[in-house]
Structure 1
Amino acid sequence: MSDPLRLAIFDVDGTLVDSQGAIVAAMTVAFDDLGLPVPARGDILSTVGLSLDRTIARLAPAQPPASQARLVDGYKQAYRAHRIAHGAAAESPLYPGAAEMLGQLAARTDLVLGIATGKSQRGLAALLEAHDLERVFVTRQNADFHPSKPHPSMILAAMAEVGADRGDVIMIGDTSFDMEMARAARIPAIGVSWGYHGVQQLQLADRIVHGFDEIPGAMDQIWNTTT
């Protein structure tokens, strides 16, 4: 009898890539264009991982729906312009060690990799192409087709797409939204300490790691404990 197929699902922004400069810049343009006060950098980064409409609702709760919709559109346009001007690889560089870790995991025969991100499909595709990662991820779930994190839809869809059982799936992310999404899907989660939420916000994680080299071992420890 063959071993079960395991699935490791990664968040993107704040977990694999450091996109905070592009995110803050685009949000600044969106608010400036409407003559609205720009939210503090920390407030902007605290929403990374949510779908864009929920992000704007948190950052501009007093604005009417029409203004929030304009902020969403303004952010999309500004982010796209920033990507075109600077290149996807430069605007969202991989954290040091990310590519090596992904290569190590992708070489395993018992494991496939997936993505669950608040990015749009177009933005995710541009990012993966820029970093030559198109073939690394077997399943790619994004905000265009799912409710915002922490709803478990992206995880459940990834599991169904690759045929992995709940006991053989794990989520890796940097925010409380990732941890809550994993909890809602009833799978374990690994929190990374270098992202946009502090370690104190990752208390739902089964493990917290401080470097990419710790992720493969943490995954195996969790699976060996739960199986």
Structure 2
Amino acid sequence: MGFKEYRLYKLLIFDWDGTVMDSAARIVACMQHAARDLQQPELTDAAIRDIIGLGLPEAFRILIPGIADDMIEPMRERYGYYFLGDDPTPVELFPGVREGLEKLQRQGFVLAVATGKSRRGIGKVFASTGLGDVFVASRGADETASKPDPLMIHEILAETGVAPEHALMIGDTEYDMEMAANAGVDGLAVSYGVHTLERMQPFKPVKEVHSFTEMVNWLESRYLEV
């Protein structure tokens, strides 16, 4: 007895922060350090969590209304200084992520990452987790348009040769789900990240899950025994 593949999706595009890695606390701490260093207004935890997923320039403009254009790059540099090395706030993969990604790869899914991180940040987390070889494509916000613009998904689709109807965007923020809708691909919303399911529901995700393992199990269920 074998199994007949019965799934719509071939390409799985993952957000990183809040979906693959539990890094919100570190992002909050590093944003606050950067703002204090440059004598910008105090940033609250809630405000910073709200913009996780955006590219840094877009995030700074929301967090600090009226910020001068010539302060964007210094803020980016200070944030990167802390996040890429000097801040001790721990970050780790969510439960089930490593095993789940490796299982999906073995089953023939094409895996990619679409994140608000910079290319340097992507390289660091790929190296620190040892997961770089799992993903065949990745895009960061400093090399394409920031979410919710669909450009990074369009670029990943072009690189992998997968049609939009066979791609699934997996994320924890409304920016991920809006980007998926803008790109014409399905979205899957995870509840354990930074935005509530209620914030993501207007973009009509095809599935909502409460753990990474639940997401993997749902994808596995799209096989029919024959």
Q: Does TM, normalized by the shorter one, top 0.5?
A: yes
**C-alpha displacement of 1:65:** 1.8
Map residues 212-223 of structure 1 onto 2, 5 A cutoff: 212-219=212-219
Alignment partner for residue 39 of structure 1, among 43, 46, 68?
Answer: 43
Matching residue of 2:196:
198
Matching residue of 1:97:
96
Instruction: After superposing the two structures, state which structure 1 stretch, 212-221 or 148-157, moved more.
Output: 212-221
Matching residue of 2:110:
112
Map residues 1-227 of structure 1 onto 2, 5 A cutoff: 6-82=10-86, 86=88, 91-109=90-108, 111-203=109-201, 204=203, 205-219=205-219
Gaps of 5+ in 1: none
Which ranges of 4 or more aligned residues in structure 1 deviate by more than 6 Å? 2-5, 220-224
**C-alpha displacement of 1:129:** 1.2
**C-alpha displacement of 1:64:** 2.0
**C-alpha displacement of 1:223:** 10
**C-alpha displacement of 1:217:** 4.3
- Flag the structure with higher strand content: 2
Structure 2 counterpart of 1:30, one-letter code: A
Q: Are the counterparts in 1 of residues 171 and 190 from structure 2 also a CA contact under 8 Å?
A: yes
Q: Determine the C-alpha separation between the residues in 2 that align with 1:31 and 1:40.
A: 11
Q: Determine the C-alpha separation between the residues in 2 that align with 1:11 and 1:182.
A: 11
**C-alpha displacement of 1:221:** 6.9
Q: Determine the C-alpha separation between the residues in 2 that align with 1:177 and 1:168.
A: 20
Q: Determine the C-alpha separation between the residues in 1 that align with 2:152 and 2:45.
A: 27
Give the percent of matched residue pairs that are identical in Structure 1 and Structure 2.
34
Higher RCO by CA contacts (8 Å cutoff, separation 6 or greater): 2
**C-alpha displacement of 1:99:** 1.0
Instruction: After superposing the two structures, state which structure 1 stretch, 99-108 or 182-191, moved more.
Output: 99-108
Q: Are the counterparts in 2 of residues 170 and 219 from structure 1 also a CA contact under 8 Å?
A: no
**C-alpha displacement of 1:100:** 1.4
Q: Are the counterparts in 2 of residues 5 and 164 from structure 1 also a CA contact under 8 Å?
A: no
Structure 2 counterpart of 1:77, one-letter code: Y
Distance 1:71 1:105, change over 3 A: same
Q: Determine the C-alpha separation between the residues in 2 that align with 1:162 and 1:184.
A: 19
Q: Are the counterparts in 2 of residues 168 and 223 from structure 1 also a CA contact under 8 Å?
A: no
Q: Could you give the per-residue CA deviations for residues 64-84 of structure 1, whole angstroms, max 9, x where no partner exists?
A: 22234332222122222336x
Q: Determine the C-alpha separation between the residues in 2 that align with 1:70 and 1:212.
A: 36
Number of aligned residue pairs: 217
SS of match in other structure, 1:25: helix
SS of match in other structure, 2:93: coil
Gaps of 5+ in 2: none
Give the root-mean-square deviation of aligned CA atoms. 2.3
TM-score under structure 2 normalisation?
0.88
**C-alpha displacement of 1:222:** 8.1
**C-alpha displacement of 1:5:** 7.8
SS of match in other structure, 2:169: strand
Distance 1:60 1:102, change over 3 A: same
